[in-house]
Amino acid sequence: MDLHHLRLLRELGDRGSLAAVARAMHITPSAVSQQLRSLQRSARVPLTERRGRRLVLTEAGRALAAAAIEVSTALDRAGRAVDAYLDNPAVPVTVAAFHSAGLTYFGPLLSRAGLPPLRCSDQDVPQAGFPALVADHDLVLAHRLAHSPPWPADRLTVVPLVHEPLYVAMPAGHRLTSKTSLTADDVAAEPWISVREGFPIEGVLTAIAAAAGRPLEIVHRVNEFTVVAAIVAAGGGLALLPGYTSRPDPGVALRPLADLPVGRRIDVLTRPENLHRVAVRTVLDALHEIAAEHRRPSRA
Protein backbone atom coordinates (compact mmCIF):
# COMPACT_ATOMS: atom_id res chain seq x y z
CA MET A 1 0.00 0.00 0.00
CA ASP A 2 1.20 3.48 -0.90
CA LEU A 3 1.49 5.90 2.02
CA HIS A 4 0.12 8.76 -0.11
CA HIS A 5 -2.95 6.71 -0.96
CA LEU A 6 -3.47 5.96 2.73
CA ARG A 7 -3.26 9.66 3.49
CA LEU A 8 -5.96 10.37 0.89
CA LEU A 9 -8.20 7.80 2.54
CA ARG A 10 -7.70 9.43 5.90
CA GLU A 11 -8.39 12.89 4.46
CA LEU A 12 -11.62 11.62 2.91
CA GLY A 13 -12.73 10.37 6.29
CA ASP A 14 -11.85 13.67 7.98
CA ARG A 15 -13.05 16.09 5.28
CA GLY A 16 -16.12 14.24 4.02
CA SER A 17 -15.87 14.82 0.25
CA LEU A 18 -13.60 14.29 -2.73
CA ALA A 19 -13.70 18.01 -3.51
CA ALA A 20 -12.50 18.95 -0.02
CA VAL A 21 -9.69 16.40 -0.21
CA ALA A 22 -8.65 17.70 -3.65
CA ARG A 23 -8.51 21.29 -2.37
CA ALA A 24 -6.44 20.29 0.66
CA MET A 25 -4.00 18.19 -1.37
CA HIS A 26 -3.79 20.63 -4.31
CA ILE A 27 -4.84 18.02 -6.87
CA THR A 28 -7.99 17.45 -8.93
CA PRO A 29 -10.98 15.43 -7.66
CA SER A 30 -10.45 12.95 -10.53
CA ALA A 31 -6.85 12.40 -9.35
CA VAL A 32 -8.16 11.70 -5.84
CA SER A 33 -10.64 9.17 -7.23
CA GLN A 34 -8.00 7.48 -9.37
CA GLN A 35 -5.60 7.07 -6.45
CA LEU A 36 -8.31 5.78 -4.14
CA ARG A 37 -9.17 3.19 -6.79
CA SER A 38 -5.52 2.12 -6.81
CA LEU A 39 -5.69 1.70 -3.04
CA GLN A 40 -8.91 -0.28 -3.34
CA ARG A 41 -7.22 -2.81 -5.66
CA SER A 42 -4.87 -3.75 -2.80
CA ALA A 43 -7.72 -4.37 -0.34
CA ARG A 44 -9.94 -7.46 -0.13
CA VAL A 45 -13.06 -5.55 0.97
CA PRO A 46 -14.59 -2.21 -0.09
CA LEU A 47 -12.99 0.82 1.53
CA THR A 48 -15.53 3.41 0.36
CA GLU A 49 -19.22 3.47 -0.55
CA ARG A 50 -21.75 5.90 -2.01
CA ARG A 51 -24.29 7.60 0.24
CA GLY A 52 -26.36 9.70 -2.04
CA ARG A 53 -23.95 11.94 -3.91
CA ARG A 54 -21.19 11.57 -1.32
CA LEU A 55 -18.34 9.05 -1.14
CA VAL A 56 -17.78 7.88 2.44
CA LEU A 57 -15.59 5.32 4.20
CA THR A 58 -16.84 1.84 5.02
CA GLU A 59 -16.03 0.20 8.36
CA ALA A 60 -12.96 -1.34 6.74
CA GLY A 61 -12.03 2.04 5.27
CA ARG A 62 -12.26 3.71 8.68
CA ALA A 63 -10.08 0.96 10.18
CA LEU A 64 -7.48 1.43 7.46
CA ALA A 65 -7.59 5.22 7.84
CA ALA A 66 -6.91 4.82 11.57
CA ALA A 67 -4.00 2.51 10.76
CA ALA A 68 -2.73 5.14 8.30
CA ILE A 69 -2.44 7.58 11.21
CA GLU A 70 -0.28 5.09 13.08
CA VAL A 71 1.87 4.50 10.00
CA SER A 72 2.33 8.22 9.40
CA THR A 73 3.20 8.78 13.05
CA ALA A 74 5.73 5.94 13.02
CA LEU A 75 7.36 7.25 9.83
CA ASP A 76 7.57 10.74 11.30
CA ARG A 77 9.16 9.31 14.43
CA ALA A 78 11.60 7.33 12.29
CA GLY A 79 12.47 10.44 10.30
CA ARG A 80 13.16 12.37 13.49
CA ALA A 81 15.35 9.53 14.76
CA VAL A 82 17.35 9.60 11.53
CA ASP A 83 17.71 13.39 11.75
CA ALA A 84 18.93 13.08 15.34
CA TYR A 85 21.46 10.45 14.26
CA LEU A 86 22.71 12.54 11.34
CA ASP A 87 23.02 15.67 13.47
CA ASN A 88 24.62 13.99 16.49
CA PRO A 89 28.28 15.08 16.65
CA ALA A 90 29.15 12.29 19.10
CA VAL A 91 28.24 9.26 16.96
CA PRO A 92 31.41 7.11 16.48
CA VAL A 93 33.15 7.31 13.11
CA THR A 94 35.12 4.41 11.60
CA VAL A 95 38.28 5.31 9.67
CA ALA A 96 40.43 2.91 7.63
CA ALA A 97 43.81 3.76 6.14
CA PHE A 98 46.78 2.13 4.47
CA HIS A 99 49.84 1.82 6.71
CA SER A 100 51.73 5.06 6.09
CA ALA A 101 48.50 7.10 6.16
CA GLY A 102 47.53 5.46 9.43
CA LEU A 103 50.96 6.30 10.82
CA THR A 104 50.51 9.93 9.78
CA TYR A 105 46.84 10.58 10.53
CA PHE A 106 45.61 8.25 13.28
CA GLY A 107 47.67 9.79 16.09
CA PRO A 108 46.75 13.43 15.32
CA LEU A 109 43.10 12.46 14.86
CA LEU A 110 42.90 10.62 18.18
CA SER A 111 44.61 13.45 20.06
CA ARG A 112 42.53 16.20 18.47
CA ALA A 113 39.96 17.86 20.71
CA GLY A 114 36.34 18.09 19.63
CA LEU A 115 36.17 15.01 17.43
CA PRO A 116 33.61 12.20 17.83
CA PRO A 117 34.77 8.79 19.07
CA LEU A 118 36.98 7.14 16.43
CA ARG A 119 37.38 3.50 15.45
CA CYS A 120 40.62 3.19 13.45
CA SER A 121 41.70 0.28 11.27
CA ASP A 122 44.80 -0.28 9.13
CA GLN A 123 44.12 -1.87 5.74
CA ASP A 124 47.04 -3.07 3.62
CA VAL A 125 45.23 -3.85 0.36
CA PRO A 126 46.03 -3.56 -3.36
CA GLN A 127 44.85 -0.39 -5.06
CA ALA A 128 41.79 -2.17 -6.50
CA GLY A 129 40.74 -3.25 -3.00
CA PHE A 130 40.14 0.20 -1.49
CA PRO A 131 36.62 0.91 -2.88
CA ALA A 132 35.22 -2.24 -1.24
CA LEU A 133 36.33 -0.99 2.19
CA VAL A 134 33.63 1.71 2.23
CA ALA A 135 31.09 -1.03 2.98
CA ASP A 136 32.61 -1.46 6.46
CA HIS A 137 34.13 1.97 7.21
CA ASP A 138 32.75 5.51 7.17
CA LEU A 139 35.97 7.01 5.76
CA VAL A 140 38.70 5.17 3.85
CA LEU A 141 42.09 6.76 3.19
CA ALA A 142 43.24 5.31 -0.12
CA HIS A 143 46.18 5.97 -2.42
CA ARG A 144 46.82 5.61 -6.11
CA LEU A 145 49.39 6.86 -8.59
CA ALA A 146 48.58 10.22 -10.13
CA HIS A 147 48.05 8.77 -13.61
CA SER A 148 46.35 5.50 -12.63
CA PRO A 149 42.64 4.90 -13.35
CA PRO A 150 40.31 6.94 -11.08
CA TRP A 151 38.20 5.46 -8.32
CA PRO A 152 34.69 4.25 -9.31
CA ALA A 153 32.84 7.49 -8.56
CA ASP A 154 29.51 6.01 -9.63
CA ARG A 155 29.15 4.16 -6.31
CA LEU A 156 31.23 6.17 -3.85
CA THR A 157 32.26 9.74 -3.12
CA VAL A 158 35.92 10.66 -3.60
CA VAL A 159 37.32 13.56 -1.57
CA PRO A 160 40.89 14.51 -2.60
CA LEU A 161 43.14 14.92 0.42
CA VAL A 162 46.66 15.56 -0.85
CA HIS A 163 49.02 14.90 -3.75
CA GLU A 164 52.16 13.44 -2.23
CA PRO A 165 55.56 13.43 -3.97
CA LEU A 166 57.62 10.24 -4.02
CA TYR A 167 61.40 10.35 -3.67
CA VAL A 168 64.20 7.96 -4.43
CA ALA A 169 65.56 6.74 -1.09
CA MET A 170 69.19 5.66 -0.75
CA PRO A 171 71.69 5.09 2.05
CA ALA A 172 73.03 8.36 3.45
CA GLY A 173 76.54 7.58 2.15
CA HIS A 174 75.49 6.46 -1.34
CA ARG A 175 77.39 7.90 -4.30
CA LEU A 176 74.19 9.42 -5.75
CA THR A 177 73.67 11.68 -2.73
CA SER A 178 76.07 14.13 -4.38
CA LYS A 179 73.28 14.96 -6.87
CA THR A 180 70.38 17.24 -5.99
CA SER A 181 68.07 15.34 -8.34
CA LEU A 182 68.23 12.08 -10.24
CA THR A 183 67.16 10.60 -13.57
CA ALA A 184 65.90 7.16 -14.48
CA ASP A 185 69.30 6.38 -16.02
CA ASP A 186 71.01 7.27 -12.73
CA VAL A 187 69.05 4.70 -10.71
CA ALA A 188 68.14 1.92 -13.14
CA ALA A 189 71.31 -0.12 -12.52
CA GLU A 190 70.82 -0.18 -8.73
CA PRO A 191 69.10 -3.00 -6.79
CA TRP A 192 65.58 -2.00 -5.73
CA ILE A 193 63.06 -2.57 -2.97
CA SER A 194 59.49 -2.68 -4.28
CA VAL A 195 56.01 -3.11 -2.86
CA ARG A 196 54.12 -6.30 -3.60
CA GLU A 197 52.44 -6.71 -6.97
CA GLY A 198 49.20 -4.80 -7.43
CA PHE A 199 50.01 -2.16 -4.82
CA PRO A 200 50.47 1.52 -5.66
CA ILE A 201 54.07 2.68 -6.32
CA GLU A 202 54.93 -0.48 -8.22
CA GLY A 203 53.85 1.38 -11.37
CA VAL A 204 56.51 4.05 -10.80
CA LEU A 205 59.24 1.43 -10.88
CA THR A 206 57.78 0.17 -14.15
CA ALA A 207 57.97 3.72 -15.51
CA ILE A 208 61.59 4.08 -14.37
CA ALA A 209 62.50 0.85 -16.14
CA ALA A 210 60.74 1.99 -19.32
CA ALA A 211 62.45 5.41 -19.26
CA ALA A 212 65.87 3.81 -18.73
CA GLY A 213 65.25 1.09 -21.30
CA ARG A 214 66.19 -1.75 -18.96
CA PRO A 215 64.42 -3.85 -16.31
CA LEU A 216 65.04 -3.07 -12.65
CA GLU A 217 66.51 -5.65 -10.31
CA ILE A 218 63.94 -6.11 -7.53
CA VAL A 219 65.68 -7.73 -4.57
CA HIS A 220 63.08 -7.18 -1.82
CA ARG A 221 59.30 -6.70 -1.74
CA VAL A 222 58.09 -4.91 1.38
CA ASN A 223 54.91 -2.82 1.81
CA GLU A 224 55.65 -1.13 5.13
CA PHE A 225 57.67 2.06 4.53
CA THR A 226 59.35 2.09 7.95
CA VAL A 227 60.72 -1.37 7.18
CA VAL A 228 61.71 -0.21 3.69
CA ALA A 229 63.64 2.72 5.17
CA ALA A 230 65.51 0.36 7.52
CA ILE A 231 66.50 -1.87 4.58
CA VAL A 232 67.63 1.15 2.56
CA ALA A 233 69.71 2.47 5.48
CA ALA A 234 71.36 -0.95 5.75
CA GLY A 235 72.40 -0.81 2.09
CA GLY A 236 69.78 -3.26 0.84
CA GLY A 237 68.89 -1.23 -2.24
CA LEU A 238 67.07 1.88 -3.45
CA ALA A 239 63.36 2.46 -2.88
CA LEU A 240 60.63 5.02 -3.34
CA LEU A 241 59.46 6.73 -0.16
CA PRO A 242 56.61 9.25 0.23
CA GLY A 243 57.49 12.81 1.09
CA TYR A 244 54.71 13.54 3.62
CA THR A 245 53.86 10.24 5.30
CA SER A 246 57.23 8.56 5.90
CA ARG A 247 59.18 8.88 9.12
CA PRO A 248 62.59 10.62 8.82
CA ASP A 249 65.53 8.20 9.09
CA PRO A 250 69.04 9.64 9.56
CA GLY A 251 70.46 6.73 7.59
CA VAL A 252 68.40 7.53 4.49
CA ALA A 253 68.74 10.32 1.93
CA LEU A 254 65.94 11.32 -0.45
CA ARG A 255 66.26 12.77 -3.93
CA PRO A 256 63.57 13.67 -6.50
CA LEU A 257 63.41 12.17 -9.97
CA ALA A 258 63.80 15.02 -12.45
CA ASP A 259 62.66 13.26 -15.64
CA LEU A 260 59.50 11.52 -14.37
CA PRO A 261 56.39 12.90 -12.65
CA VAL A 262 56.53 10.80 -9.51
CA GLY A 263 53.75 11.11 -6.96
CA ARG A 264 50.59 9.57 -5.57
CA ARG A 265 47.15 10.85 -4.71
CA ILE A 266 45.78 10.29 -1.23
CA ASP A 267 41.99 10.43 -1.32
CA VAL A 268 39.21 9.81 1.17
CA LEU A 269 36.61 7.35 -0.11
CA THR A 270 33.16 7.13 1.44
CA ARG A 271 29.59 6.19 0.66
CA PRO A 272 27.67 9.35 -0.37
CA GLU A 273 25.14 9.05 2.46
CA ASN A 274 27.88 9.13 5.11
CA LEU A 275 28.56 12.80 4.38
CA HIS A 276 25.08 13.66 5.66
CA ARG A 277 26.37 12.88 9.16
CA VAL A 278 27.79 15.79 11.13
CA ALA A 279 30.29 13.50 12.89
CA VAL A 280 31.72 12.19 9.60
CA ARG A 281 32.06 15.68 8.15
CA THR A 282 33.84 16.83 11.32
CA VAL A 283 36.43 14.04 10.99
CA LEU A 284 36.86 14.77 7.28
CA ASP A 285 37.54 18.43 8.04
CA ALA A 286 40.14 17.37 10.61
CA LEU A 287 41.84 15.14 8.02
CA HIS A 288 42.16 18.11 5.68
CA GLU A 289 43.67 20.22 8.45
CA ILE A 290 46.18 17.50 9.38
CA ALA A 291 47.07 17.01 5.71
CA ALA A 292 47.82 20.73 5.40
CA GLU A 293 50.07 20.54 8.47
CA HIS A 294 52.03 17.61 6.96
CA ARG A 295 52.27 19.01 3.44
CA ARG A 296 56.01 19.35 3.44
CA PRO A 297 58.72 16.84 2.45
CA SER A 298 60.20 14.79 5.26
CA ARG A 299 63.73 15.21 3.94
CA ALA A 300 64.56 15.90 0.31
Q: Which of 19, 1, 120, 24 is closest to 72 using CA atoms?
A: 1
> Contact 238/232 with Cβ under 8 angstroms?
yes
Return d(Cα 279, Cα 90) in angstroms, integer. 6
AA identity, residue 201: I
115 or 68, which is more confident? Answer: 115
Q: pLDDT, tens digit, for every residue of 104-156?
A: 999 999 999 999 999 999 998 998 999 999 999 999 999 998 888 899 988 89
* pLDDT(83) > 80: no
> Which domains does the chain possess?
3-87 (1.10.10.10), 93-293 (3.40.190.290)
For residue 183, the one-letter residue type is T
- Average pLDDT over the chain reads 90
Predicted pLDDT of residue 298: 46
Percent share of the chain, pLDDT over 70: 98
Query: Could you tell me which of 221, 150, 112, 134 has the C-alpha nearest to residue 121?
Result: 134
Q: Give the tens place of pLDDT for each residue, 264-289.
A: 999 999 999 999 999 999 999 999 99
Name the phi and psi angles at 227, rounded to 5. Answer: -70, -40
155-169 mean pLDDT:
94
Q: Residue 296: its pLDDT value, please?
A: 56
- What is the residue-wise DSSP string for 53-120? TEEEE-HHHHHHHHHHHHHHHHHHHHHHHHHHHHH-TTS-EEEEE-HHHHHHHHHHHHH-TTPPPEEE
Which DSSP letter does residue 128 get?
G
